[in-house]
Amino acid sequence: MTIANHSRTVAPKSVRPAEAAALLGVCRDTVYVLMRSGRLRSIKAGRARLIPLAAIDEFLSADEEFAA
């Protein structure tokens, strides 16, 4: 009898700055500038800096409101 491996793919809830840069279409340095200025929310987990996907959505929504 074998036990089936029921591993599921779980969507990430946060990304690292390089991944956020790719999602936003900017360079990694720009992501760090946005985080330092407070325009892009991030959290620190040990030595890693993580950006919640919700924070990216908030940033994009805020920019749309600013441009309108």
Q: What digits encode the pLDDT tens for the residues 2-37?
A: 556 666 788 889 999 999 999 999 999 999 999 999
Q: What distance in Å separates the CA atoms of residue 51 and residue 24, rounded to the nearest whole number? A: 12
Query: What percent of the residues of the chain are helix, what percent strand, and what percent coil, each to the nearest 5?
Result: 50, 15, 35
Question: 27 by DSSP, 3-state: which?
Answer: coil
pLDDT for the residue numbered 66? 60
pLDDT for the residue numbered 9? 85
Tell the burial category of 30 from Cβ atoms under 10 Å away from its Cβ (0-12, 13-18, 19+): middle
Q: Which residue reads 């600013």 in tokens?
A: 66
pTM, entire model:
0.77
